[in-house]
Amino acid sequence: MAYVPGFSRDVFISYPMEALRWTKQFDKDLREELAQALSGKGLDTYFAGREFHLGQPSDEMLNEARKSALFLVILTPACFAEDESRFVAQEVKAFRESGSIANRVFPILLKPVSGRELSRLIPLENPLAFWNKLEFYYEEDGVPLTLQPHSEPPGEPSGAYNRKVEKVAWHLKNRLEEIARDRRDIANKKGPFAGITVVLAPKGLDPNIENEWHEIRKLLLNDGTTVLPDESSAGDQAEFEAAVRSAKVFVQVFTLDDMDRAKSQLNTVKAQGSVSILQWRKKNPKFDSAMLASLDQDDREFCEGAQTGLLEDFKVMIREKLEQIKNPGPKPPIRDKPLLYITVDHSDLPLVHKLLPAAVKMADVDVMTNEESRRAVEFEDALKESANQPTGLPLSSAAKEKYRSGALLRSRRGSHLWVTGDTLARGHRGDLRGVAR
């Protein structure tokens, strides 16, 4: 059983083929040291028996990476060769799905590796988010030699290898305790919106969105909401669908670089159930307009449907939605008749004055006045229903986008009619009778 709640493994150990023998010994020694450091509890590490002839990691290996609290990577120059770097890249990609990898990646260097090479192999938004690298090598006559259990670097006290293993064990122990403590604190905290379940869409692989995603997750957890899916199961589609069915709110942050994943998530949400949807897209400050213009209409409409302002404003929007769910306020009175909403340009007012008596007579509706307190809210709700589920006359995209210059009629049968000033001017008032019938 893992030391950190919510994870199946404490440490995932990644290594190159040439370091297989060394890593087996290191894994054994590390477990022994951690058993002492953690008062006999030991550590649940994942040391994969790699099948390098397959050319890629196994599904089991990638799944274990997704469910691990820490990622310990053994590095040699061979790791940066094309075939080997592909192995590590896929493991890191899977590990990233468990949450932010900042301060959760621990490099062990068996040979000299530059910081630039390391950042290229394991990209982070903040390169300083790696722990201090531990070097298991020494130089002799200008040649780097890997530190072995029985090798003794010249000029150093005996037991250099064992001391290094103890340091690794100590760092791992402290970091695991920090993660476990943070998770317990969050679980025990009661915020203002306790009892509300929120689905935070699993983030994509673009590191440019990582900080914002975790800010939103922290906000939701601190406010007491239940955030699904759990980070350790973020890549599980079945769990994502189950989470959506139990949630009140769906929150999504994305970039243009990860739009396909974001669209797929939104389609799943719409198919699984009815939840409030809040989206925020991080804009590219240099090329956003050009990139949007290059998209097809469907992709562009998807992107433009998300908020793109300050992240802090999006946080306020999330809290307002949670407050609305927690305290929905009094329900509007039940009306005997559906409502007719009309908004027009000033020049079309004479046409509206002619339409109203006919609407009341033929369609058997109430006319909403400016004095009604819930006028704006009911109009917005009816508009959303009409735009998303039209059961009467079809609504064009242009009509939906320009609803402020038109009118919406809700008939007794739940059908909808979009009436614009042009429609009235052309004398299509007969459509009104059709909907009413």
What residues does each domain of the chain span?
A: 9-187, 191-326, 339-436
Q: What are phi and psi of 205, to 5 degrees?
A: -100, 0
- The answer to whether 382 and 313 have CB atoms below 8 angstroms apart is no
Cα(346)–Cα(354) distance, integer angstroms: 14
Percent of the chain with pLDDT over 70: 69
Q: Which residues contact 103 (CB under 8 A, 6 or more apart)?
A: 129, 131, 175
- For 36, other C-beta atoms within 10 Å of its C-beta total 12
Average pLDDT over residues 421-434: 38
Share of the chain above pLDDT 90, in %: 29
**Closest by alpha carbon to 322, among 226, 187, 184?**
226
- Rounded to an integer, what distance in angstroms lies between the CA atom of residue 294 and that of residue 319? 34
Q: pLDDT (tens digit, 9 = 90+) per residue, 220-239?
A: 988 989 888 876 555 567 77
What does the pLDDT look like over 23-77, one tens digit per residue?
999 999 998 888 887 776 667 888 876 554 445 567 888 888 888 999 999 998 8
259 vs 341: CA distance, rounded Å? 36
Does the 9-187 domain belong in CATH 3.30.1360.40?
A: no
Helices of type H across 97-159: 115-121
Which tens digits make up the pLDDT trace of 335-358?
A: 666 666 666 666 777 777 777 777
d(CA 232, CA 8): 8
- Of 1, 7, 47, nearest to 27 by C-alpha is 47
**The domains spanning 9-187 and 191-326 adopt the same CATH topology:** yes
Measured between alpha carbons, how far is 185 from 5 in angstroms, rounded to an integer?
Answer: 12
Beta strands (DSSP E) in 53-113 are 68-75, 105-109
CATH class of 191-326: alpha beta
Q: What is the pTM of this model?
A: 0.53
> Which string of DSSP letters, residue by residue, matches 266-317?
HHHHHHH---EEEEEE---TTTHHHHHHTS-HHHHHHHHTSB-S-HHHHHHH
Dig out the tokens for 249 from the structure. Answer: 């709110």
The sheet carrying 105-109 orders its strands as 45-47, 9-14, 68-75, 105-109, 134-135
As given in the structure block, the two tokens for residue 25 are: 């010994």
Tokens of 195: 């009892």
